[in-house]
Amino acid sequence: MSKAASDEIVAGKLLAARRALRGTEWDGNDLDHFVQVLCRLDADRHGFGANDLLAVEAAWMGTAGEPWSGGFVARLKDGRRVHVDGRAGHSHWSEEDSDIEAGLLDDGEQHPELGARDGWQAHACDDAMARRLNELLDRFDAREGEP
């Protein structure tokens, strides 16, 4: 299977998992942004993809009303820990003003630096968002065997 076909399957499963959460206690507008972040993870570029995520340990989001930014720390199925940050500008996930950063965490490193970075706003951890992301991952994993 080609990488493009595989990426399309992952995106389809993520979108189906997201749709399954609409109208539930787990629903929230920020989930749409996090799905965009997950769809942009690239195993070749970042060292892991959405299929590799086991559980979200912490999540964060920027201030409402600003261009969206957020991220998470997760444990991979192979035991490694990673961080992912995403940012969407005013044109909502267009290539011109959105991007993600992702990488492995060093042993003993709890979280990446969450302070404001060039063009990014400051963040604070949000336990409720981490729980919602784990529910999304659970539904995504439940679709693992589906084409």
Domain extents in the chain: 3-142
pLDDT of 118 strictly over 60: no
pLDDT of 143 strictly over 70: no
pLDDT of 83 strictly over 90: yes
Query: How distant, in Å, are the alpha carbons of 43, 61, 87, 94, 144 from that of 66?
Result: 29, 11, 11, 16, 35
What global pTM score does this model have?
Answer: 0.85
Q: Which structure tokens are listed for 93?
A: 């996930």
At residue 56, the pLDDT reads: 96
At residue 98, the pLDDT reads: 85
Strand 98-104 relative to strand 81-88, pairing: antiparallel
